[in-house]
Amino acid sequence: MTKALICIFLGGGTGSVLRYCVQLALHERIVPYNFPWATFTVNIVGSFLIGMFYALSARFNLATDIRLLLTTGLCGGFTTFSTFSNDSLILLKQGLHGLFLLYIVLSVALGVAAAMLGGALISNYTR
């Protein structure tokens, strides 16, 4: 159990740092903050990655510790439901109701589609 916790800890820390780097790159250097692009991006990319990691885990029978490092740790630290929720509330409080609904619908729909695509890509290319 201790080894699993260490793997989750290492993956989670790495994912959180990567998420912060995406936030810096998108909101402070590239895109002005008028839409939560960083949160949107990490959640879609993270969904794609978790689909890939679970498919890789099943296909190659990865050790539980490695699976936990990649999924619960890395993807869990990289993606962020709490920031998604807060960003949604900010849009709502700003009276941007259409953008609020668009953000929620696109985040959920594209997140699920990305996870399916990630899993399908691994399943199709590792036969």
Domain boundaries in the chain? 2-125
Indicate the pTM of the whole model: 0.92
Dihedral over alpha carbons 22, 18, 79, 52 (to 10 degrees)? 110
pLDDT in tens, 27-59: 777 766 678 999 999 999 999 999 999 999 999
pLDDT for position 32? 65
pLDDT tens digits for range 86-121 = 999 999 999 999 999 999 999 999 999 999 999 999
E strand or H helix at 39: helix 37-60
Cβ partners under 8 Å of residue 42, min gap 6: 18, 19, 22, 23, 78, 79, 80
